[in-house]
Amino acid sequence: MASRRRTLLKVIILGDSGVGKTSLMNQYVNKKFSNQYKATIGADFLTKEVQFEDRLFTLQIWDTAGQERFQSLGVAFYRGADCCVLVYDVNSMKSFDNLNNWREEFLIQASPSDPDNFPFVLLGNKVDVDGGNSRVVSEKKAKAWCASKGNIPYFETSAKDGTNVEDAFQCIVKNALKNEPEEELYVPDTVDVVGGNRAQRSSGCC
């Protein structure tokens, strides 16, 4: 296949350690899930070629460490982001309560030109755990938080079984395009996108 010009979209995933950031990224890019937990050290990224509205994009997804001692390592990686994905565990109130800190930290360190309108997407992960019986953060509470932050798009996901992961990242791409830089970077062809199953639950993307 001949190489073509594509726009590079940079997406940052933030949230507490253990909420499933790496697993969400791997489920979306590689369609794989592992029950073995391994903390991310510093930051890592994966890329995926995506097509949206008849245009090709290379989505660069950055997975940053959630531990406090590594947060300072992520500062350089925040810069130039087109969208920030905030992730919490629906079974952990602490991870939900810390969303404000992650959002503010990103805005401070990334210094976007228009912080009030910078695109965020919120993912409530691990909805599959214990059949939902361990859940402590309600969908209503999460949506209320999103509404208070300018109606951030919200999805309830499972990195394990793939629930809403594909739809969530389609929304992430759509929002990243709102912050798309003028220049296009030349990126060789890599991998074709295989369409995922439609999601079962989501609050939609605006």
Find tokens 């937990």 and name the residue.
37
Q: Count Cβ atoms within 10 A of the Cβ of residue 25 and give its class: 0-12 exposed, 13-18 middle, 19 or more buried.
A: buried
CATH number at residue 101: 3.40.50.300
pLDDT above 50 for 140: yes
Tokens of 175: 């929002």
Residue 51 falls inside a structural domain:
yes
Mean pLDDT within 157-171: 95
HSE-CB of 57 using CA atoms within 13 angstroms: 24
Q: Domain range holding 66?
A: 7-179
Residue 165 lies in a domain: yes
- The pLDDT mean for the chain works out to 82
Residue 206 forms part of a structural domain: no
pLDDT digits (tens, 9 = 90+) for 26-77: 999 988 766 655 555 556 788 899 888 888 889 999 987 655 544 555 567 7
Of 154, 191, 196, give the one whose Cα is nearest residue 175.
154
Residue 204 lies in a domain: no
Count of structural domains, the chain? 1
- Identify the band that residue 128 occupies on the pLDDT scale cut at 50, 70 and 90: very high
Determine, yes or no, domain membership for 195.
no
Domain presence at residue 203: no
Residue 188 lies in a domain: no
The mean pLDDT of 95-122, rounded to a whole number, is 94
pLDDT in tens, 142-158: 999 999 999 999 999 99
What pLDDT does 31 receive? 81
Domain assignment present for residue 171? The answer is: yes
